[in-house]
């Protein structure tokens, strides 16, 4: 019999990105449209569930005047 265990993940919200987006009075949907991606992807990055790839991180950082490290 297999032992079924649930994986528990600890996500760290990206407060800097959230504040930068809100500082520009943008919704997640508007931000996604600007970058040609989905609202869900932006949401996942903000919640810390996903990390943006190097190219996308550069675009976000430049747009929001923050460092790429702030997105990691």
Residues 15-71, CATH architecture: Orthogonal Bundle (1.10)
Output the pLDDT for position 71. Answer: 82
Going from N- to C-terminal start, the domains of the chain cover: 15-71
Output the pLDDT for position 3. Answer: 56
Output the pLDDT for position 48. Answer: 93
Output the pLDDT for position 5. Answer: 53
Output the pLDDT for position 70. Answer: 85
* Residue 69 to residues 29, 49, 61, Cα–Cα distance (Å): 23, 16, 9
Residue ranges of the chain whose pLDDT lies below 70: 1-10
Task: Tell me the C-alpha distance between 46 and 9, whole Å.
Answer: 15
| Phi and psi, residue 30, nearest 5° | -65, -40
CA 53 to chain centre: 10
């Amino acid at each position: 019999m297999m032992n079924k265990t649930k994986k528990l993940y600890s996500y760290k919200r990206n407060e800097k990105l959230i504040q930068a987006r809100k500082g520009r009075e943008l919704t997640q949907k508007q931000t996604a449209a600007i970058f040609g991606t989905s609202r869900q992807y932006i949401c996942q990055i903000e919640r810390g569930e996903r990390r943006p790839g190097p190219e996308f991180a550069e675009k976000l950082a430049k747009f929001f005047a923050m460092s790429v490290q702030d997105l990691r």
